[in-house]
Copies of this chain bind each other. A is one copy, B any other.
Amino acid sequence: MAPTPFAAALIKKLSVSNTIDADDRQALEELPITGRFYDPQQTIVHEYDRPSHCCLVVDGFVIRSKSAEGQRQILSIHISGEIPDLQSLHLHVMDHELSTLTGCTLGFIAHDVLRQLCVARPNLAAALWRETLVDAAIFREWIVNVGRRSSVARMAHLIVEMWERLDHIGRTRDGAFEFPVTQVELADCLGLTPVHVNRVLQQLRQDKLLHLARKECNILEKGRLEELGQFEPTYLHLSPQL
């Protein structure tokens, strides 16, 4: 059986932080996944839902979010190969919303199937657990980001994080990556106002650190951006050894 693009994305992403052997790989390739295309800005799973499937991102950007004081806070941005609602395997009620940022190709995997997989292949169970732990590590860093960094540093940190994660699955090209996000959405990631995001981006552009426009992000000075955002990649755990 030829590997589906679904399994391929999942395997590629899992392999970044986990050791996946041939048998694991085969088990993943045989996983029944039903695909579906979603338009931008669509809700995939609502808060309080009790999903029976997990959602695998194959293409596009997916976000998790919840609201407070009428404003939305984006909790995480998910990219190809990730399973943003993997937690629903053990946390039955959704405590936040899952939606598409851009048009997305998604694959849905039944919870039962995943549970069986975890029993049959403990190594994959550990890998999936680990993925949720990396998720949590990123949440921690986002707490620091909105809690303790200035608006410019926040933006710099977010951009470098996205670059690092996308780079490890081969979705960057010389300092640039596709990032079709509006300033309103950036504001929702960073706990800022859209107007202020605009000004922050102008400053970063002026300082020749970053150019974000037309669904594309160009990093001009990665080193200085990292410094500005105090970016320290340990928390991404981008290697099976870490």
Given A146-B191, A147-B73, A148-B73 in contact, is the A132-B140 Cβ separation under 8 Å? no
**Is A95 in the interface zone, CB < 8 Å from B?**
yes
A64 pairs with B191, CB closer than 8 A: no
- Chain B residues contacting A212 (CB-CB under 8 Å) are none
**Beta-carbon contacts of A106-130 to B below 8 Å, as 1s and 0s?**
0000000000000100100110011
- Chain B residues contacting A37 (CB-CB under 8 Å) are none
**Is A1 in the interface zone, CB < 8 Å from B?**
no
**Is A44 in the interface zone, CB < 8 Å from B?**
no
State the Cβ distance, A211 to closest chain B Cβ, in Å: 25
**Is A69 in the interface zone, CB < 8 Å from B?**
yes
Given A93-B234, A137-B91, A137-B95 in contact, is the A146-B149 Cβ separation under 8 Å? no
- Chain B residues contacting A230 (CB-CB under 8 Å) are 68-69
Of the four ranges (under 10, 10 to 19, 20 to 34, 35 or more), the interface on chain A belongs to 35 or more
A148 pairs with B69, CB closer than 8 A: yes
Number of copies: 2
Closest to A128 in B: B129
A-B CB contact pairs (8 Å), 25 listed: A48-B234, A64-B140, A67-B148, A68-B149, A68-B230, A69-B149, A69-B150, A69-B153, A72-B148, A73-B143, A73-B148, A75-B144, A90-B126, A90-B130, A91-B133, A91-B137, A92-B242, A93-B237, A95-B235, A96-B140, A132-B133, A136-B136, A142-B143, A146-B146, A147-B191
